[in-house]
Amino acid sequence: MKIVACNSNLPLAQAVADELEIPLCKTSIRRFADGEVFVEIQENVRGEDMFVLQSTCTPTNDHLMELLVVLDALRRGSARRVTAVMPYFGYARQDRKSGPRTPISAKLVANLLTEAGANRILTMDLHAMQIQGFFDIPTDNLYAAPLFVRDLMTRHPNHEKLMIVSPDVGGVVRARQLARRLNVDLAIIDKRRERAGVSEVMNVIGDVSGRFCVLVDDIIDSGGSLCNAAEALMKYGAAGVEAYVTHGVLTGNACERVQNSPLSMLTLTDSIPATEELKAASNIRQIPTANLLGRAIRAVADESSVSTLFD
């Protein structure tokens, strides 16, 4: 087993390698003058079980192309099996036709990864579960929920007073799983989205008065939806609000918006590397995923069950 680290999240790749107690595969990934990606695997990979770690975060297209070229290099190097480990799967929000003559880009990316040479996909908290069906190769979707539960129980020993809140109807299943693990109540934000990145809270389903609310979501991009939800919960009488989100995309002035919102804390995973704005924000933090990813990689390599990681 060998791990190849692409350039999107080198600290996470190194942390995963440390968890597995193996060195990262020697690789050279560089650009030609015109921006084309050039990859050279500097170790023999013939017959090896290869894992390529790359989050397709900003700049999404560059990181996606980098991953595709690495997959092709490993396939041509006669690797026995190549697993694309994608802590954050970009283009996941384009999982259906949202209107006439629009693409299903998540399916396109699935095709590209397969054609480039991936034999297996290992990712975390896909935006929509049906994306697993876009692949004709085995796809393991890890969950950050156990990490969130452990962190919440540490930070809130009296977690019975918490209330888990889904920021929209589409995230109810994810929020319900967390509420069930903690044995607490669930509330739902009813919102209307006029266009991408713009939403309006219409109602709060559930009595949040006097409860400390924890918003749970898979992606925070501009931060508008989450901050609007936090304001609505405070308006409806919540004692306080914080949020747990798997992937911190945080584009534009999202960090500033979170800092100026009622959110006492926004907890993210390190599936996307921290920006300088995130590091400077007083109410945004990251929790590590290296142990979870390392255990999943070990399970895949040993041909053992991945689902037992979440029992």
Does 305 carry a binding-site annotation?
A: no
Does 225 carry a binding-site annotation?
A: yes
- Grouping H, G, I as helix, E, B as strand and the rest as coil, residue 137 is coil
Does 223 carry a binding-site annotation?
A: yes
Does 193 carry a binding-site annotation?
A: yes
Between CA 274 and CA 161 the distance in angstroms is 31
Does 159 carry a binding-site annotation?
A: no
Does 156 carry a binding-site annotation?
A: no
Tokens of 2: 């060998």
Does 36 carry a binding-site annotation?
A: yes
In the numeric block, the tokens 């994306």 are attached to: 131
Does 94 carry a binding-site annotation?
A: yes
- Grouping H, G, I as helix, E, B as strand and the rest as coil, residue 288 is coil
Say if residues 271 and 293 touch (Cβ distance below 8 Å): no
Please state, in angstroms and as integers, the Cα–Cα distance from residue 139 to each residue in 63, 123, 126, 142, following that order: 20, 8, 11, 10
Tokens of 88: 């954050």
Does 286 carry a binding-site annotation?
A: no
DSSP H helical ranges for the chain = 10-20, 60-76, 105-116, 145-155, 172-182, 224-235, 254-259, 276-280, 290-301
- Grouping H, G, I as helix, E, B as strand and the rest as coil, residue 101 is coil
**C-alpha gyration radius of the chain:** 20
Tokens of 212: 């400390």
Does 93 carry a binding-site annotation?
A: yes
Does 209 carry a binding-site annotation?
A: no
Quick check: is 107 catalytic? no
Does 105 carry a binding-site annotation?
A: no
Largest distance between two CA atoms of the chain? 61
Tokens of 289: 């995923």
Does 259 carry a binding-site annotation?
A: no
Does 311 carry a binding-site annotation?
A: no
- In the set 97, 191, 235, 279, the catalytic residue is 191
Q: Binding site for ATP: which residues?
A: 34-36, 93-94
Which positions are annotated as active-site residues?
191
Q: Binding site for D-ribose 5-phosphate: which residues?
A: 193, 217, 221-225
Q: Binding site: which residues?
A: 34-36, 93-94, 127, 168, 193, 217, 221-225
Q: Binding site for Mg(2+): which residues?
A: 127, 168
